[in-house]
Amino acid sequence: MFTMKHGWTALFLTMRSNFQVTTYIDRANKHGGGVCAFVRQEYKAERLPNITFISESGLHQLWLKSQVRNFKSFLVRTAYRPPNTCLECFDSDFSNMLVSALSFNLPVYILGDLNCNLLCLQDPAAQALMKFCSSFNLSQVINCPTRITESTETLIDIALVSNADLVKECFTVHYTSTVDHLSTNQEMRTIPS
């Protein structure tokens, strides 16, 4: 499964033979934004429409319930918080939808670009995200820069998990010189049904 945030459309052209676009949300008639999930055709994935949307604050959330073979299902949230979105979205939209998702009693993986630099914990956005993580006992499993430019390195692409023991390995990859965000990759441990 691949989850993508803003600017994902072109990648689909190179992935379409092995993956299907399970679902996406996109900002109509606007540049940037939107989130998408590509799921291998043999995996099960169901969009959770009651908690998938772009909020009034601008926060993008796409929730999927997924299952790989006969293993236990899990939830994946792909999120994008545009740079100027208010930080209160963590206390409202982000928290409310997570509470709804937790009622499934399944492992939760939250992936995406939240524009909170976790390499600078004095930053108010990073503090708001860390407060959110602490409130829900979530672990951030990426600990290296995910966006690199000529003059800066930031960790704004996150991988939050409800159970860090379910992550075998986590790493970043720089696939192309035309994108300054690195791909974050997590290999998960599966749980028998």
| Per-residue model confidence as pLDDT tens digits over 88-97 | 999 999 999 9
Separation CA 154–CA 149 (nearest Å): 9
User: CB under 8 Å to 157, separation ≥6 — which residues?
Assistant: 111, 112, 113, 142, 146, 147, 181, 182, 184
Q: Tell me the torsion sign for CA atoms 11, 169, 146, 133.
A: positive
The stretches in the chain having pLDDT less than 70 are 1-33, 171-172, 174-185, 193
Q: Which domains does the chain have, with CATH numbers?
A: 43-188 (3.60.10.10)
Structural contact between residues 53 and 43, judged by C-beta atoms closer than 8 angstroms = no
Per-residue pLDDT at 13 = 41
Q: Which residue, among 103, 123, 106, has the nearest Cα to 114 in the 3D structure?
A: 123
- Render pLDDT for 101-142 as a digit per residue (tens, 0 to 9): 999 999 999 988 899 999 999 999 999 999 999 999 999 998
For the beta carbon of residue 153, count every other beta carbon within 10 angstroms: 12
Q: Which pair of structure tokens corresponds to residue 174?
A: 């720089």
Q: Which residue, among 72, 106, 112, has the nearest Cα to 94 in the 3D structure?
A: 112
8: number of CA atoms within 13 Å, CB side? 26
Per-residue pLDDT at 148 = 76
Q: What are phi and psi of 28, to 5 degrees?
A: -65, 130
Torsion of CA 71, 51, 81, 75, to 10 degrees: -10
